[in-house]
Amino acid sequence: MLLALCSCVKDRPIKFSQKYSTYTDNRDGYEYKTVTIDGTTWFAENFRYLPSVDGNDVDSVLFDGPRYYVYNYNGTNINEAKATDEYKKYGVLYNYNAAVKCCPDGWRLPTKDDFEKLIKSINNDKQDKYGCFEYYTILMLCGDRNLWGLDDSTYTLFNVSGLTMIPGGAMQPQHPYDMYSGEKKDSIGFENIGTLCSIWEKKRGREKNYLSALQIEHDTTPTQIDFRMHEMESSMPEICGLSVRYVRDE
């Protein structure tokens, strides 16, 4: 079930503390925007450090090590990947191993508790009976109207959190062999750019493949704009490529 977003949404008072700053990754010199919400400092944009880039090679999907993907780029040249619009707008998609390996000193992947604290800070952690968060909570998290396909300035709650979450899509592994002929085939599937924001959550120490991510899904129709936000659990294999937002160690 999707939550319908209408233009009659009323302004809500901002009750959380908020402070903006920046962080520069000395590995490539890129300066990231950050925002501190109720004492927790978050990256306010998708991570984009790119030590290497993987194309649509079957072996890159099966390999357990760190893997780095730029949406719709199927080569291996870092400079070419960085020159794409997708890299400039959405950053890099990391498999879980890469998301952990590339974490800057003093930062870490967000935990379930971090996400819960964030959502509670901005809107009292309210959910509907399907476990989806109320639409004005999602509005507070999402940023860049154009990337979400929005052009209506009446959504006054849009991105008041300053986190500017954007729909960078994902890399989902496809079956690496044709089920009938047994021949190898391209096995990386880039999907859902413009409609899905999916951010890695730190592994909780359960079985190897038990991973989770915060996901914001978006769908447009001629008559309404729909958002849904939820936590994906267990169905996120480590080889998937997702966006990354780090939080500062406290």
Reported as a single tens digit per residue, the pLDDT across 129-158 is: 444 556 778 888 999 988 988 876 657 788
Domain for residue 5, yes or no? no
Domain for residue 11, yes or no? no
Domain for residue 195, yes or no? yes
Task: For residue 104, give its domain range.
Answer: 18-248
Specify which residues 94 forms β-bridges with: 68, 242
Domain for residue 62, yes or no? yes
pTM of model > 0.75: yes
Task: Count other C-beta atoms under 10 Å from residue 206's C-beta.
Answer: 11
User: Which helix (H) or strand (E) segment is 122 a member of?
Assistant: helix 112-123
Closest CA to 65 of 206, 247, 239, 196: 239
Pairing state of beta strands 40-43 and 68-69? unpaired
Domain for residue 2, yes or no? no
Q: How many domains does the chain have?
A: 1
Most confident range, picked from 11-25, 69-83, 178-192: 69-83
Per residue in 51-105, pLDDT tens?
Answer: 999 876 655 555 668 999 999 998 899 999 999 999 999 999 999 999 999 999 9
32 Cβ contact partners less than 8 Å away, ≥ 6 residues apart: 22, 23, 24, 25, 43, 44, 45, 47
